[in-house]
Amino acid sequence: MARKKKEPENNSNSLKAKLTDSKAADMAPVLQPITETLETNYMPYAMSVIVSRAIPEIDGFKPSHRKLLYTMYKMGLLNGNRTKSANVVGQTMKLNPHGDMAIYDTMVRMTRGNGALLHPYVDSKGNFGKQYSRDMQCAAPRYTEVRLEKICEEIFKGIDHDAVDMVDNYDGTLKEPSLLPTTFPAVLVNANQGIAVGMASNICSFNLNEVCAATEAYLKDKNVDLLDIMPAPDFSGGGLILYDREQMRQIYETGKGTFSVRARYNVDAKNNLIEITEIPYSTSVEAIIDNIADLVKSGKAKEISDIRDETDLDGLKITIDCKRGTDHEALMAKLFRFTKLQDTFSCNFNILINGNPKVLGVTQILDEWLEWRRGCISRELRFNLDRMKKKLHLLDGLAQILLDIDKAIKIIRNTELEEDVIPNLMNGFDIDKEQAEYVAEIKLRNINKQYIINRISDRDNLKEDIADTEDILNSPRRINTLIVKALRDVATKHGKPRKTELIVAEEAPVFEAAAVIPDYNLHLMLTRHGYLKKHTMNSLRNAGELKTKEDDEIFMGFETENRSDLLIFTDKCNLYKAHVYDFSDTKPGDLGHFLRSELGMDQDETPVFMIATQDYKGILFIAFENGKAARFPINTYETKQNRKKLLKAYFDGSKPVGFILLNEEEDPDLIVTNSLDKAAVFKASLIPLKTTRTTQGVQLLVSKKGSVLKSLARLEEVNVTDPEYYRIRKVPAIGYYIREQSLEAKQISFDDLS
């Protein structure tokens, strides 16, 4: 049998299939761990923001500040006339690749006109806005003019003497300083804020005199208490710090913490108005006015008739017109409590140290600054030492010429070729090339004995200076002396009195709600659908039928006072806390306040009981379906924080069938019934008093045949003809079947509680 001949493969189709498979393989997604993706793609960006943008370094500047100030320094604006801001912005773009408006915004914050810094670095002319205003915008850079403030002399001192490293700019065409050699701890003197990736920095400003004095004291004694010299921050906008020494000590030690700052105000009793002249550094005029306007609209500041911004060339001023009879101090205490007139400043002393962000306390910052400053001084001294040694070396060569000036002239005159002058001088006087170059460059008019003798006479002084400089470099004590001298000079030239006043926190007036809230007797009622009705006693006496929804009814009510705290229990074992005065008075024809929406309850949550108290004295008695009962003091609901909702307000293992509020001294008779038509009368003290609100209590009636507790009430509120028949004297008990003649008692239910 003949074998079937094999057909040849289609080479073109095979090649096409291979190419298709290869292309599909190339297009397949490459799986990469998320940690590796973050490390390779996100971390470089994050580190760039942290190191090169948002966090200040030990000299007190961010890169954008440093580039701007250095540009102005190189433009000659330290001692020259002002120039247009647009000119500075344009020149700064050679060092800063960000946009022109970003650079201008940086400049604005550093100007005297803006007022953001306690010691501005830029002397400005024109409109630069105000730090305390949200809406007051600065003028365009083409309209404003700037130059450096005199304090910048202390920032750049030594920068031309190799005090700091010079690095390439972003395109390698220019050099810029890596840090500025500030002669004082500028990082503490001016406020600085920055938000990086995963971290932030917020450094408050301190008074320059106090910082310099504290640095000097710390340099001499590491155990000095800085709070005695530099008690608290000092802000450019003034204000009043509510001073807590231990709170401030915590900030000084850890570099983190908060403190409160209040506005400064004057009362004009004659015109019945209040003038606010200084506000907290962290807020704005517009935010304060908005806060106060909201208070007036909500009826919480009825004493105010008008508020306006009267800020002018003389400075900030917010004027509040008051109604007749207003207690101005009480009103300000209220405004401090509810508006930004009192605000908190959150400290986060996060600083870059050798490229690493660190949160440092004040003493740690001073340690780092002093170490860095010693390095700057040492570099500057070495630079000057090299120059003096070089100059001495040249003068030594000149001294050789003094021995025979005529010989030097003869060598030069008899030399035929110009390039042979230097070698001939070197050979003739045994000097090196540098010395020979120096001698050869002397002008003809200076080739006289007097000139040369005068120059050489400087050698002795120069040798003394060199020896002294070398001694300083080898003596940490003398370097510290130079630091102290610079600190004293800075404080003398640029120091200013403290702007922010300190007041003891305990002595500051505090808003007390009870002082301004009217107190009167009233009647509270709660309906089954969760409506709260609040009636004054007069309206209740004159009322007809109290209105409720058709399928609703009032199931509890009591008298209380307007300043009481209101505790509302729900069927979800939650407790909602409010003040009675939070709810407005209702008319008999009103349905009342719907608590579910007013208190933010869940859609399926319903109030089942409420208490009003001012002193949190009393005992709460709760009975549960499982036959247990609990008794505990209501002071377990008292909290220091103004919490609106407490979870697990009572035992959640069984449904409650009744709540009763008892006085601490009383021990009333109570009665319970269950689903087997049994009842029990007992003293409330039969149930032991517990200390926790979530206690499950003890077994009151034994549950048999699946029976559950149905009701709890005071015996005096229930018509029982023979209560002693149902009396129990120990728990647990089984109860007694309700007699026929006690039929009225069968109607007791959870619905009858009040």
| CA distance linking residue 625 with residue 334, whole number of Å | 47
Cα distances from 227 to residues 231, 249, 622, 647, in angstroms, run 4, 7, 54, 43
Q: Residue 312: how many CA atoms within 13 Å on its side-chain side?
A: 4
Structure tokens given for 496: 């200013």
b/e code 275-285 from CB counts within 10 Å (16+ = b): bbbbbbbbbbb
| CA distance linking residue 538 with residue 652, whole number of Å | 40
β-pairing verdict for 273-278 and 264-268:
antiparallel
| CA distance linking residue 631 with residue 621, whole number of Å | 5
Q: Residue 228: how many CA atoms within 13 Å on its side-chain side?
A: 5
CB atoms within 10 A of CB 18: 10
Q: Torsion angle, CA of 107/111/114/115, rounded to 10 degrees?
A: 130
- Provide the strand spans (E) within 463-563: 501-504, 521-527, 531-536, 554-561
β-pairing verdict for 645-646 and 575-579:
antiparallel
CB neighbours of 637 closer than 8 A, spacing ≥ 6? 567, 575, 577, 616, 646, 649, 693
| CA distance linking residue 502 with residue 213, whole number of Å | 19
| CA distance linking residue 305 with residue 363, whole number of Å | 49
CB neighbours of 383 closer than 8 A, spacing ≥ 6? 161, 162, 163
Looking at residue 548, the DSSP 8-state letter turns out to be -
Q: Residue 394: how many CA atoms within 13 Å on its side-chain side?
A: 15
Active site residues: 143
Q: Torsion angle, CA of 385/387/390/395, rounded to 10 degrees?
A: -100
Answer yes or no: are the C-beta atoms of 111 and 128 closer than 8 Å: yes
The arrangement of strands across the sheet holding 318-322 comes to 264-268, 273-278, 318-322, 304-309
Picking from 574, 577, 527, 548, the residue whose alpha carbon sits closest to that of residue 693 is 574
| CA distance linking residue 131 with residue 272, whole number of Å | 29
Cα distances from 123 to residues 35, 111, 181, in angstroms, run 48, 6, 20
